[in-house]
Chain A
Amino acid sequence: MNLCALTFHEAREKLRKREFSSHELTDAVFRRISETDDKIHAYLTLCRDAALEQAKQADQRLGQEPNFPPLLGVPIAIKDNFLTRGIQTTCASKILGRFNPPYDATTIKKLRAGGVVFTGKTNLDEFAMGSSAENSAFFPTRNPWRTDRVPGGSSGGSAAAVSADQCIAALGTDTGGSIRQPAACCGIVGLKPTYGRVSRYGIIAFASSMDQVGPMTKDVEDCALLLEVIAGYDAADSTSVNRPVPHYTDALTGDIKGLRLGIPKEYFVSGMQPEVDRAVREAIRLLEKNGALIEEISLPHTEYAIAVYYIVATAEASSNLARYDGMRYGYRARAKDLTETYMRSREEGFGPEVKRRIMLGTYVLSAGYYDAYYLKAQRARALVKKDFDDAFQRCDAIITPTAPTTAFKIGEKTQDPLQMYLSDIYTISVNLAGLPALSLPCGFDSAGLPIGLQIIGKPFDESNVLRVAHAYEQSTAWHEQKPNL
């Protein structure tokens, strides 16, 4: 049996029956990493010794606790923008220097309490700014399906690690598509929960009105299981919402009869790769065959979403990243006075895309431009949100492509930032409106690259999103295909 290829629910069942130990499972995952990561470069930091020790402890608990927690002994990878106590955290930036977090993010604390085995920290675009993982200050991650392609971003390392069986599941973050777009590019399942559903305490902030944490997994059931563990109220995150966490797995019945699915006409326009268009339409037909009611809807302000997003997100980023001043932690350049120290530390510590966004964000917030850009964008954002409110009067979930194309070539879009931004066209409206959305595999293009289907839900209705995704997955075999490494 190829242990590292197991899903989390399969591994859990076999751990329960003692078919193998967590130590054996963890060892298999690390063997897989050493065999494949020189091609993929998914990880920034590996925690082999600590992981094998955590696995040993998990094995003891497995023997002693009949009702052991669901994630006990399962190897999970973490995007390197989560604070992990005692494990260096870089956010794929040089500005953090040799930062060793003095505390754990709330989600990490939950996983630790559940006995998870941490494989390591995965690569990302610096400060989660990008759609290809090429903006990492260290190295680009490659797509396991074809190593001349990007894995998507910003959670490209987590997506590639799940796809290449270098972990059983992973955590990512999503501000404009950073879980869903790489999930689509790498042929895995990724969910961005509702804004407020999962605590962001201990996540390195990018754009605080949109950042969310979510699971990246090999199938929909794993996604539901992992969400159940990380979701919930946290007093340490003032934007977290205090409402009960449902048993998401209860929604995985396969029954979608009578569920109303909206298809936004604005999402099927020129610029989409024809194979993506075909695969998504085929998926919609399959959902209809399984009993869903398909209805065309309109999200009329879709074409403004990218402009709104890149104003709001950069404004928030310029403010959030003002804290990197080289005083209490992180990189400090040697300079003659205080101002020079700030200017040079930030010059040497930040990469080009981060600088570009800090500049853009500072500009749109600066005196004389605030009303024209930032306030205008927040007004337009209200219209984007209202589009969804109106649409959800008529449907229970919305079906779209996750990205307009499959994974593009490494280097293809790095010279043109605007082209890179346009690859987020189907995912960012969801963040602007704070909604839950999931991407799962729905086919392959002629180059053998995975295609992603996006399912968008009402606020806090992750259950129906997972229900539709699971029903689709049950009637297809895309998720069973593996890259040939």
Chain B
Amino acid sequence: MKLTREDVQRVATLARLRLTAEEETSLTEQLDNILQYMDKLNELDTSQVAPFTHAVDLVNAFREDQVTNQPDPEALLANAPERYETFFKVPKIIE
């Protein structure tokens, strides 16, 4: 199965990545090349193998729901691309 330019465009939209025309061309070729290499896995019969889930046997890691740090809005907002008073300012979401 050959990866197409349309596949690349569809995946780029899913990943919220804008690509240039040149990037679409080179990624179509490179990803197809890499995916062909991945097809090597089809040599393996894994019908009787349970998928890997975790490297160590851990079950749920529960802890008490306690406040351990004081909220510091100024420290968090200091990295905001745009702010308004004590809010993150973002592009309009609903018209």
Instruction: Flag B47-77 by CB within 8 Å of A: 1 or 0 each.
Output: 0011111111010010100000100100110
Q: Which residues of B contact A325 (CB under 8 A)?
A: 16
Contacting pair B91 A338 (CB below 8 A): yes
Counting chain A CB atoms within 10 Å of each CB, the highest count among B17, B46, B50, B52 belongs to B52
Given A102-B76, A347-B17, A97:B56 Cβ within 8 A: no
Lowest 8 CB-CB distances: which A-B pairs, in order? Answer: A434-B55, A378-B51, A379-B46, A329-B79, A332-B81, A102-B75, A343-B18, A381-B52
When the two chains form their complex, are residues B17 and A358 in contact, meaning their CB atoms are under 8 A apart?
A: yes
Collect the chain A residues with CB atoms within 8 Å of residue B82's CB.
332
Q: Which of A330, A363, A373, A383 is the most central at the interface, judged by chain B CB atoms within 10 Å of its CB?
A: A363
Cβ-defined contact, B11 with A363, below 8 A: yes
Decide if A350 is an interface residue (CB 8 Å cutoff).
Answer: yes
Q: Min CB distance, B38 to chain A, in Å?
A: 5
Contact (Cβ within 8 A) A102 B16: no
Q: In the complex, A311→B40 CA distance in Å? A: 12
Question: Cβ of B25 < 8 Å from any Cβ of A?
Answer: no
* Contacts known (A102-B79, A346-B18, A347-B19); A383 close to B34, Cβ less than 8 A: no
Give Cα A161–Cα B37 distance, bound, in whole angstroms.
35
**What would 6 more interface pairs be, CB under 8 Å, given A196-B55, A322-B16, A363-B11?**
A195-B56, A337-B91, A341-B91, A360-B34, A362-B11, A383-B46
Question: Assuming the A-B contacts A102-B76, A241-B58, A328-B76, are A418 and B16 also in contact, with contact meaning beta carbons closer than 8 angstroms in the complex?
Answer: no
Which A residues form the contact surface with B (CB < 8 A)?
97-100, 102-103, 194-196, 209-210, 235, 238-239, 241, 301, 303-304, 306-308, 310-311, 318, 322, 325-332, 335, 337-339, 341-344, 346-347, 350, 352, 355-356, 358-360, 362-363, 366, 373, 375-383, 385, 417-418, 421, 432-434, 459
Known pairs A326-B81, A343-B17; A311 contacts B38 (CB<8 A): yes
Partner of A363, one of B31, B51, B81: B31
CA distance A346 to B92 in the complex (A): 18
Give the distance in Å from the alpha carbon of A358 to the alpha carbon of B16 in the complex.
Answer: 10
User: Which of B31, B44, B50, B91 is close to A359, meaning CB atoms less than 8 Å apart?
Assistant: B31
Do A329 and B15 touch (CB < 8 A)? no
Residue in A102, A310, A418, A459 whose beta carbon sits within 8 Å of that of B56 in the complex: A459
A238 adjacent to B61 (CB under 8 Å): yes
Q: A337-B91, A339-B16, A379-B46 are in contact. Are A304 and B58 (CB under 8 A)?
A: no
B69 — nearest CB in chain A belongs to which residue?
A103
Q: Give bound CA distance, A210 to B50, whole Å.
A: 19
Return chain A residues, CB-CB under 8 Å to B78.
100, 102
